[in-house]
Amino acid sequence: MDPGLSRGGGLPSFEFAFNSENFSDRVLRLEVVATDGVAGGPLPDVALHREDLRLHKEEADGQTIDSSWTMAATPVLRVKTIYISSVVLAANSPFFLKLFSNGMKESDQRHLTLQIADSDETVMMELLRFMYTGKLAATEPNLLLDILTAADKFEVLACMRRCSQLLTNLPMTRETALLYLDYPCSTSVAAEIQHLTDAAKEFLANKYKVFDKFPHELMDMPLAGIEAIFSSSDLQIPSEDAIYTFLLKWVCEQYLQTEDRHKIWSSRLLPLLRFNHMSWKQLHEVLTCSDDAIDNEETTKRITDALLHKAYPAHEQGALAVDTATCWQVPQRAYIQKPLKVVEFDRPRPQVIVYLDLTHEECSRLFPEGEFFSQLFHLAGHNFYIMPTCEMEDEQRKLYSFGLWLGIHDKPEGSTCLTFNFEFAARTKSSGEFVLKLKDEVIFTGDCMQGCGDLFGVPWSTFLADDSLFIDGLLHLRAALTLVEQPGVQT
């Protein structure tokens, strides 16, 4: 066989017969109508119209009715006539095989009519040409997706596979990723491009994982992209609080109608938020602030569940986890500000106790001279944080150690002095209890830090290898801060 007369898989090519009257036994009449006149996506559901035709034929009681697939009455822009071979089409498409062999009138008719939108004229011609040649000239992802959808409707499985292959070989970009995620399609087409959808989500999550680098691009991102990015656990973000603030701003800018905004917030955005990793301060602020921009009822429910979880973590496998909305097995993201568990007291003196867990991997990343910042916590009208570090203790011998520091985020106004007692402790495997490592009294007069650069009194390598400190791979730290004296306040 001439190589020019063959196609993939050793199958013969009938390119010479495409739209040739000499090698065709039927005529396909394409009625092209305005795009706005055809609903339902690329190409009408011709199988459905054929069933409608069958009903009309039965009702006509034997009267002659032209065989055609048409939409509702729509002005025809132009008519395109294509010579087709019933053998070629039937060999490539179960749809056409049934059409030409079902014993009904259209099985014998020479002229068939199909009405399509003007935007789908190229799609239909590409599909017909593929059935003759096994080739596709299209390279644009939009067009390939439309051809794939048409191939699905006409049951041209080989064309579906070829479209999928070509799409897989295209480079992934922001535009193509959003196209794959937001393309309206049937269940079968969705299954065919599932690998592309998964790749698109991964591409967007990786491209935008450093949150602070793309504030303007993210604010213009469509909903499908927002869901892909903020579903990721690799998102590098100051804290979950920042995600809440961003999503609230985004939904207000993207959806101006209150009803639409509430619907999107409740059904699509709230599931993206990991409330159990938000700070106590942010949860309390949202809970006590009425905001008409969002669905407050559903938001309040989520936050209440998060606060209950934080207060009673031992119950997370019990009643609180019955509702799927309160499933707390959602991992932390790559937070720049590490999440804390916070316990506050008003009496006998204002006090706050915070718990910080660091994985062995997170501690390893601190070397040689790194640092982490915790979420902010609140006491006496000010915001504080704790900061684990890796510090050089002996420059000559190049010895490093684990440090822990307490800092105040906002400088006290004027000459105000705040006097606190603070303690640092770590849990040990042997006793299961927190063991005090540092205790001191400190006067905060400005933006300063208190703590020590060698909390455990051992070199860095010894600290990392200490199995008594890393319990199931976690280092459990505790910091307690108690107000001793504040000017103008009796304690």
- CATH assignment, 3-170: 3.30.710.10
Residue 418 has a pLDDT of 77
Summary mean pLDDT of the chain = 83
More confident residue, 302 or 194: 194
User: pLDDT confidence of 300, banded at 50, 70, 90?
Assistant: confident
Q: Return the higher-pLDDT residue of 394 and 263.
A: 263
**What is the per-residue pLDDT across 108-121, written as a single tens digit (0 to 9) for each?**
678 888 888 888 99
Q: Please report which confidence band the pLDDT of residue 393 belongs to, taking 50, 70 and 90 as the band edges.
A: confident
Q: CA dihedral defined by 307, 312, 316, 317, rounded to 10 degrees?
A: -160
Which regions of the chain carry the CATH code 3.30.710.10?
Answer: 3-170
The whole-number pLDDT of residue 103 equals 64
Beta strands 373-374 and 351-359, pairing class: unpaired
pLDDT tens by residue, 92-151: 999 999 888 876 665 667 888 888 888 899 999 999 999 999 999 999 999 999 999 999
Distance, in Å, from the CA atom of 126 to the CA atom of 121, rounded to the nearest integer, reads: 9
**pLDDT at residue 296, as a whole number:** 78
Check pLDDT > 80 for residue 73. no
d(CA 284, CA 307): 9
By DSSP bridging, strand 26-33 and strand 111-117 are parallel
Do 70 and 90 contact (CB within 8 A), yes or no? no
When mean pLDDT is compared across 158-172, 291-305, 314-328, 425-439, the lowest value belongs to 314-328
Which residue ranges does the chain devote to CATH 2.60.210.10?
340-485
| pLDDT digit string, tens, across residues 218-276 | 999 999 999 999 999 999 998 899 999 999 999 999 999 999 999 999 999 999 999 88
What is the reported pLDDT for 355?
A: 94
Query: When comparing pLDDT for 316 and 189, which is higher?
Result: 189
Q: Is the pLDDT of residue 57 over 80?
A: no
Structure tokens at 283: 């949860």
pLDDT band at 292 (very low <50, low <70, confident <90, very high): confident
Tell whether the model's pLDDT for residue 466 goes beyond 50. yes
For residue 284, name the pLDDT band (cuts at 50, 70, 90). confident
| pLDDT score of 324 | 36
Spell 445-461 as b/e; 16+ CB within 10 A means b: eeeeebbbebbbebbbe
* Mean pLDDT calculated for residue range 153-174: 95
340-485: CATH number: 2.60.210.10
> In this structure, are strands 449-452 and 373-374 parallel, antiparallel, or unpaired?
unpaired
The whole-number pLDDT of residue 7 equals: 56
Give how far the C-alpha of residue 197 lies from the chain's centroid of Cα atoms, to the nearest Å.
11
Q: Are 342 and 384 in contact (CB under 8 A)?
A: no
- pLDDT tier at 75 (50, 70, 90 boundaries)? confident
pLDDT in the model for residue 344: 87
pLDDT, residue 383, reads 85
Answer yes or no: is pLDDT of 25 > 70: yes
Q: Which residue has the higher pLDDT, 12 or 331?
A: 331
Higher pLDDT residue, 15 or 202? Answer: 202
pLDDT top residue among 430 and 462: 462
Task: Give 414's pLDDT tier (boundaries 50, 70, 90).
Answer: low
- Residue 215 — pLDDT band, cuts 50, 70, 90? confident
Does the structure show a pLDDT above 80 at 301?
A: yes
Contact present, 477 and 424 (Cβ < 8 Å):
yes
The per-residue pLDDT for 105 is 61
pLDDT surpasses 60 at 49: no
pLDDT at position 83: 95
